[in-house]
Every structure is written in C-alpha cells, then in structure tokens.
Amino acid sequence: MNAGSHTVVAVIASCSQVVAVAVGGLVLIGLMRKVRAHLEGRVGAPILQPMFDVRKLFRKERLRPDQATWIFPLAPVVLVATVAVAAAITPLVTTGPALSTGSDFFALVYLLLVGSTLLALAGMDAGTAFGGMGSSRAVTIGALAEPALLVTILALSATAHSSNLPAIVRATLADPGSVATPQRLFALGALLVVIVAESGRLPVDNPATHLELTMVHEAMILEYAGPDLAFVTVGEAMRLTLLLGVFVNLVAPWGIATTTNVAAVAVGLVTLVAKVAVVGLALAVFEVFTAKLRLFRLPELLAGAFVLALLGVVSGLVVK
C-alpha cells in the first residue's frame, strides 16, 4: 500500500481513537457508576446517564462569576482539546496513529498537564475560597505524582530504548514475556497509582463529593455551568479513558492494530473497548471497598508509587 493510503488509514484510526475515547469515556463512567451502585445494593442510574447529563448541560445557559476573566471560558475548551490531541496520537487502537513518530510518552504527560494547569488557574479565576482550595490541592497532588510518573516512563522506556509510545507497545508485542519481568510489573503498579491520582479517583479524590473538606477536583470546577461544565465532564472522562487505554496497551497490547488496514483498525477498536471496560470495572470494584485518604496521607501514597517506580528501574539495571 502506498504512503497516501497509510496516512488515510492513520487519520481514520486517530479519529476513531478520539471518538472512542470521547463517547466511550462517558459510557465507561456510566458503567463504573452502575457497577458501584449494584455492589452498594442500589439500582443506580442507566449506563448512558453521563451522556444524557452532557446533553442536558448543553441546553442550559452559560454562567460566569463576576470577577472571572477569559481564562474561565478558555479552560474547559483547552482541556478537551489537549486530551483529544493526546488521544489522537497515542497508540490505542493502532500502533500507527497520525503523528505517531512524534508520539512521545513524555509529550503525552505534558499535554495532559496543560489541561489540568489551566483548569487550576480557572479555579482561582472565580475568586472564591473553594476555587483556591481546589487549585492548591490539585497542583500539590500533581507535583507529588510527577516523580513517580517520570521514573515510570524511564522504567517502561528501557526495553524499547525510547520513550516513543508506539515503539514501547511494539516492543511489548514482540516480546510478550517482558511484561512479566519485575521491572515492568513494578513500573505498571506505580503507573496505576499515578493514573488514579491524576484522574481524581478514589482513594485520592472522590468525584462524587461536594463537601469542601473532601473536594479537590470538584472545588476547582464548582463555578462551571451549562456547556462549560459539559466540556469539563467530557474532558475528565476522556482523560481517564485515555490513561486507562495507555495502561492496558502497556500491559496487554494484543489486539492492537499493527498493520495499516481498516479491518485491523476495527479489531483494534473492539479489543480496546473490551480491555478498557475490564480495567474500568476492576477499578470501580476497588473504589467500592476504598475510602478517600486524608489529604496529608497522599504524600505517603505517592511516595510509595515513586519507590515502586524506582524499584522498577533498579531491577531493570540488575537483571541486565
């Protein structure tokens, strides 16, 4: 096949990734809530409830606090835009999405950071105590999670000798046994903790709470209403799905499209949905049995993740 059709398939794959992450993200959130509800003995809302919520929000009017500046309406759009770009270039459905040569794990982390930083600024834009509190806690947690995250990337990049995500996934596909090495397992464990921290799930943050003592993420976005809130909801769902997608493709990349034909892409899509659903469900079950940690116990958790990641790197050195 010539280069032109390669590019076309790559673009199709990227678009399917973005759509899958956006739509699938909302469905995943609904699914997780449903599982939690069942385990808690409730019926719970329909699985598609988050989508209905988003549709409802788009019909409401936009509000902004009287002191807010242009940062306030900009943040939700930037959040979704950056996560969408990230979803387009990471190897979720195929190892060759558009711009895959520049698809660097480090770049992915910082792309997501753009959205969260701007959201933190928007929290302060409202000029309320809630906004400041949410922003302060969110950036602190982000700062504490960074070392674990980057050392994890270091550990995971060792096998492929590159931090290019498609290269790492391809290296894992070529050598399935490498997943079971202590290096990989430690690093993936640390990655899971960091994903929980970055997407604001239990035990780091409770996405369902509105008590100021326990809010982190919710406090930042308290002032958003209507379409802005819809964008934020979609953005957060996309971020979680994207991170889980990257995680599953690092653990069990089988099914991902390695060739550039549409059939392989379709298979990749289906397997991605399945894998992410499984991990999401496992996460939901875990959340039922966990309480939110005190804010000042979080450094211990994140330091633990860091030590795990460091162990991953060191065991990689030892086992050479």
Partner 1 sequence: MTAASLVVSGAVLGLTAGVGGATLPRRSRVAVGAVLVWGACALEAVAAIHVLVSGHRVVLHSAELLPFTGVNLVLTPLGAFFVLLVAMVAVPATLHGIGYAHHGLDSRMAAFAVPIFVTVLLLVPAAGSVATFMVLWELMALTSLSLVLVDHGRREATRSAGTWYAVITHIGAAAILTAFLILAAHSGGQSFAALRLHARHLAPVVRALVFVLALVGFGSKAGVVPFHVWLPKAHPEAPSPVSALMSGAMVALGVYGIILVGDVILGGGSLWWWLVVLALGAVSALFGSLHAASSTDMKRLLAYSTTDNVGLALIGLGASGLFDATRHPQLAALGLVAALVLLLNHAAFKGALFLSAGSVQSATGTRDLDQLGGLLRRMPQTGALFLGAAAAICALPPLNGFIGEWLLFQSLLHGADIGNTAGEIAIPLAVAAMALTAGLTVVAFVKAAGIGFLGRPRSEGADAAVEVPGTMRLAVGLLVGVCVVLGVVPTLVLPAVERAVRAVLPRVAPLSLAHGVDLQLVGLRGVLEPAALAAAMAGALFGLGALRRALARRPAPRVAEAWGCGRQLQTARMQYTATSFAEPVQRVFDDVLRPVQDLDVSHVAESRYFIEAVTFHNAVDDGIERGLYRPVIGAVRRWGQVARQLQPGSVHRYLAYGLGALVIVLTALTVIR
Q: Is 151 in the site for partner 1 (CB under 8 A)?
A: yes
Considering only the stretches 45-53, 117-125, 237-245, 264-272, report the one whose residues sit in contact with partner 1 under the rule CB under 8 A.
Answer: 117-125
Q: For residues 154-173, which are near partner 1 according to CB under 8 A?
A: 154, 157-158, 160-164, 167
Partnered with residue 104 across adjacent β-strands are 164
Please report the DSSP string for 183-242 in residue order. Answer: HHHHHHHHHHHHHHHHTT-TTT--TT---TTT-SHHHHTTT--THHHHHHHHHHHHHHHH
Considering only the stretches 105-113, 177-185, 247-255, 268-276, report the one whose residues sit in contact with partner 1 under the rule CB under 8 A.
Answer: 105-113
Q: How far is the CB of 320 from partner 1 (least distance, A)?
A: 7
Considering only the stretches 25-33, 126-134, 257-265, 276-284, report the one whose residues sit in contact with partner 1 under the rule CB under 8 A.
Answer: 126-134
Q: For residues 172-231, which are near partner 1 according to CB under 8 A?
A: 222-223, 226-228, 231
Report CA-CA distances (Å) from 296 to 145, 214, 293: 14, 12, 8
What's the rounded Cα separation, in Å, for the pair 144 and 147? 7
Is residue 116 within 8 Å of 280, Cβ to Cβ? no
From 13, 20, 88, 190, residue interacting with partner 1 (rule: CB under 8 A): 88
Q: How far is the CB of 263 from partner 1 (least distance, A)?
A: 27
What's the rounded Cα separation, in Å, for the pair 20 and 94? 13
From 3, 41, 61, 211, residue interacting with partner 1 (rule: CB under 8 A): 61
Comparing CB distances to partner 1, the nearer of 152 and 271 is: 152
Comparing CB distances to partner 1, the nearer of 102 and 177 is: 102
Report CA-CA distances (Å) from 231 to 1, 71, 105, 109, 240: 39, 15, 25, 20, 14
- CA 287, distance to chain mean position in Å, is 16
**Two tokens, residue 20:** 């899958």
Q: For residues 19-58, which are near partner 1 according to CB under 8 A?
A: 58
What's the rounded Cα separation, in Å, for the pair 57 and 228? 8
From 1, 63, 208, 270, residue interacting with partner 1 (rule: CB under 8 A): 63
From 17, 117, 172, 315, residue interacting with partner 1 (rule: CB under 8 A): 117
Q: How far is the CB of 205 from partner 1 (least distance, A)?
A: 13
Report CA-CA distances (Å) from 125 to 18, 73, 78, 219: 29, 10, 15, 12
